[in-house]
Amino acid sequence: MLVFQGKKIIITKKIIYALPLIYGIGKATAIKICKDLGIVQHLKIEQLTEDQQNSITKIITLNYQIENTLKNQIKNNISSLIKINCNKGVCHKKGLPVRGQRSRTNARTQKQKIKENVNLKYK
């Protein structure tokens, strides 16, 4: 069984569908890992030898940020945007759409979160 930073991977799945279960690895990176190692993409994880499993874990730990390290990096990036008070940071702080979407008539779910927080503060 493959384990990455406490995350267990299902043995009965194929490699290209099992690796994206790890946060930070998508299907494209799973295919790239298989090509780099010369492993057939449609093998199941239980069919891999221990050497192949170890090489997969080694490549992922050396070349990619996964799970908690990636989440912490994203959190730090957002907090630095908030600190420098740029437009993206202000939108993150207010809970509005960040990437320039229209917020006058759209972004209902974002605005609902804001209204719930305001109602809880004044009750």
- pLDDT score, position 77: 94
- pLDDT score, position 33: 94
User: What's the half-sphere exposure (Cβ side, CA atoms, 13 Å) at 41?
Assistant: 13
- pLDDT score, position 10: 84
Is residue 74 pLDDT above 90, yes or no?
yes
CATH 3.40.640.10 for domain 3-67, yes or no, is no
Domain ranges of the chain: 3-67, 95-123
| Rounded CA separation 69/118 (Å) | 33
CA distances in angstroms from 94 to 67, 97, 98, 112, listed in the order given: 27, 9, 10, 12
What is the dihedral sign for C-alpha 111, 114, 118, 119? positive
pTM of the model: 0.73
Contact 58, 44 (CB under 8 A): no
**pLDDT confidence band for 30 (50 / 70 / 90):** very high
CA distances in angstroms from 64 to 99, 109, 110, 122, listed in the order given: 26, 33, 32, 45
